[in-house]
Amino acid sequence: MPIHPDPRPDPRSVAVLAYDGLCTFEFGQVVEVFGLPRPEMGPDWYRFRVCAERPGPLRAIGGFRVEADGGLAELGEAATIVIPGWRGIDAPVPDDLVATLRAAHARGSRLVSICSGVVVLAATGLLDGKRATTHWKYAERLAARFPAVSVDAGVLYTEADGVFTSAGSAAGLDLCVHLVRRDFGPRIANEIGRRLVLPPHREGGQAQFIDRPVADREGSRFAHLFDWVRARLHERITVDRMAAEAAMSRRSFIRRFEAATGSPPGEWLTGERVRRAADLLEGSGLGVERIATECGFGSADALRHHFRLRLGISPTAYRRQFARAG
């Protein structure tokens, strides 16, 4: 009788691991992104469940208990398996959990960790020889415990052969939204990001392929200016021109703009041009030269330089990875 390989997991299914000593904040992030009912997203949205490391009620940080509706068998059936932290950077990882994750990955499941959850993924051996990240305060201990893993504490998240890791707690949201983008495209990911009120710009040496528009807060002094600039990215825009549009002196404008956005005006403007270029690469058939002109870079070489500097990838490679079909 022929032996048929296990079917690939349902691509819309997400399972999050619950364990004794559960990291509540990290667990809540996963529920927020993947577990909330979102009927406006249509019938293809994620199917979500919580799966326990072992039977029975589990203690969670904050003084309450969690009782999951699934166990390791159900965990291994999901297309995306998320480990929301772990009970200690030096805590052992049960053999049956390791076996479940290895088998799921072999069937095509994505494995995802938030913060100290990387310990669980490292224990599977699937990160050996690959780059991974975690909270900066755990990086040295992680590297000492798993010397075959290349630990990079300077990024928000990493990806290697279907295994994803994220840095400190809040970076888990960046990674979760990144996964939404891979599954549903930039428009949906950006909408989820807005609902989460994610910061408009998170840099730190990492290449994040998610939309990060500046959310114009109500009453923001610069809301009009943001719209004005975005409508004219193809033009030559100087700091003096921006200050005049904001009806401020150059000195006052620079000081207030940096306080409001966290970036000097010129840096913010370059970021807007890169994001506009990314949108055009994703959703238009325009050539790189034309996109450079439309975004105010002047030349394709300038676009390539700033694109690589900001996102760590060439415009052509970005289009190949993220261009929307149709």
- CATH assignment at residue 19: 3.40.50.880
In this model, does residue 202 exceed pLDDT 60?
no
259: left (phi over 0), alpha (psi -120 to 50) or beta: alpha
DSSP 34: I
pLDDT of residue 212: 43
Nearest to 119 by CA among 130, 102, 133: 133
The proportion of the chain whose per-residue pLDDT surpasses 90, expressed as a percent, equals 61
Q: Say whether both 144 and 234 belong to one domain.
A: no
Q: 253 with 132, same domain?
A: no
Q: What's the average model confidence in pLDDT over 264-273? A: 92
**Of 181, 196, 211, which closes a domain?**
196
Q: What is the reported pTM? A: 0.64
Residue 212 lies in a domain: no
Residue type, 129: G
User: Is the domain of 58 the same as that of 158?
Assistant: yes
C-alpha–C-alpha distance, residues 23 and 37, integer Å: 22
> What does the pLDDT average to over 98-118?
97
| Mean predicted confidence (pLDDT) in 60-65 | 93
**Residues 228, 191 within the same domain:** no
For the domain that residue 306 is a member of, what is the CATH number? 1.10.10.60
Is the pLDDT at 43 greater than 90, yes or no? no
Domain of residue 119, residue span? 13-196
pLDDT higher than threshold 60 for residue 9: yes
User: Which stretch, 75-89, 157-171, 188-202, has highest mean pLDDT?
Assistant: 75-89
Looking at per-residue confidence, does 169 or 285 come out higher? Answer: 285
Residue 1 lies in a domain: no
Q: What is the pLDDT of residue 308?
A: 86
Q: Which pLDDT score is estimated for 188?
A: 85
Number of CB atoms found within 10 A of residue 276's CB: 18
DSSP SS3 for 52: strand
**Above 60 in pLDDT, residue 71?**
yes
Best CA proximity match to 70, nearest among 54, 46, 93: 54
**113 and 123 in contact (C-beta within 8 Å)?**
no
- pLDDT over 60 at 211, yes or no: no
